Amino acid sequence: MLGSKEDNITYSVGWALAHAPTFRANFAQVMGAGPKAFDEVWMQQYGKDKGFTDIELLGPDAHAIVEAKRGWWLPGDLQFQKYAPRFEEQSRASQTFVAMSDCSSTYAKLHLPPTIANVPLRYFGWRDVEALAATGQSHAEKRLLADLRTYLRTVATMQDPRSNMVFVVSLGAGFPEGSSVSWIEIVEKRRQYFHPVGNRWPKEPPNYVAFRYGGRLQSIHHVESFVVTKNIGQEVEGYPKSETIPHFVYRLGPPIRPEKEVKNGPSVRQSARVKVMLDLLLTCDTITEAWKKTNERLNHQEDPE
């Protein structure tokens, strides 16, 4: 279980499915096929469609085609449609598409259809796969699954509890349109914050979010939990209930207040967003200084968003 490329992750999960019967049974059970559904695992199978499937699971009456992606990306509908004729070739009664990636199940549900080409589509995030690999029967199986869990934590871009990067954002003084709570009250009173998923916003939830207004840093919060939703008002009291693009909605921990005044500085203006290291944010005189020193540590330059 080495390497961090997409194929490396796929081969590692496929190897575990082939050599760990308990893991394969758990995977099949949660997928809805039954714990004894599969007894064969095929990797990178080339077909008449001139494509390579990531993983195929087969049994006497069941067939599943698994496609995996690294990061917060999902397999496209056309990719699954391309492989749909393979089910007819194998002619099993139970047929299932499976998608796997870093995305949360909530996010995937918003972006994946329940069926493709009349075949049910199931989704597993890497957290789900790790949980399914938590038990084994033999000593060899337990060792293999322990290695898989360690490997997934290493290569998957799940929220890293050791990360000290802080996403610093600006809060406006007014109210969101149609809202009975202001931008500042949502953070200070509700201990919540939300933003779009991707499109120049984070595609993965940060560990810390810091808020600035009035020309200076006000507070830093650990992200205790999050959901992905198209209706922010269902999660944030006082915000209007209406459909929009997918947003992360965070539950924030208690505020960490800087012991001294930390001003914005010349490079962090208006609604600019930056990522800085927690220790630098708490020790530098300005957010600009903390941001520049963070880039020096990482040996690269990022412009404010």
Q: What is the pLDDT of residue 9?
A: 85
Co-location of 106 and 220 in the same domain: no
Co-location of 51 and 102 in the same domain: yes
Letter for the amino acid at 211? F
Q: What is the pLDDT of residue 70?
A: 76
Low-confidence residues in the chain, pLDDT < 50 = 158-159, 161-162
Co-location of 204 and 269 in the same domain: yes
Collect all residues with Cβ–Cβ distance below 8 Å to 172 and sequence separation of at least 6. Answer: 183, 213
Q: Residue 107 is part of which domain span? A: 6-155
Last residue of a domain, one of 90, 123, 155: 155
Q: What is the pLDDT of residue 77?
A: 83
3-state secondary structure of 275: strand
**Closest C-alpha among 115, 39, 50 to residue 86:** 50
Q: What is the pLDDT of residue 304?
A: 63
In a domain, 105, yes or no: yes
Q: What is the pLDDT of residue 161?
A: 46
> pTM value?
0.58
**What pLDDT digit, counting tens, does each position of 55-105 carry?**
999 999 999 999 988 766 778 788 899 999 999 999 899 999 999 987 777
Q: What is the pLDDT of residue 157?
A: 55
Collect all residues with Cβ–Cβ distance below 8 Å to 289 and sequence separation of at least 6. Answer: 265, 280
Q: What is the pLDDT of residue 110?
A: 74
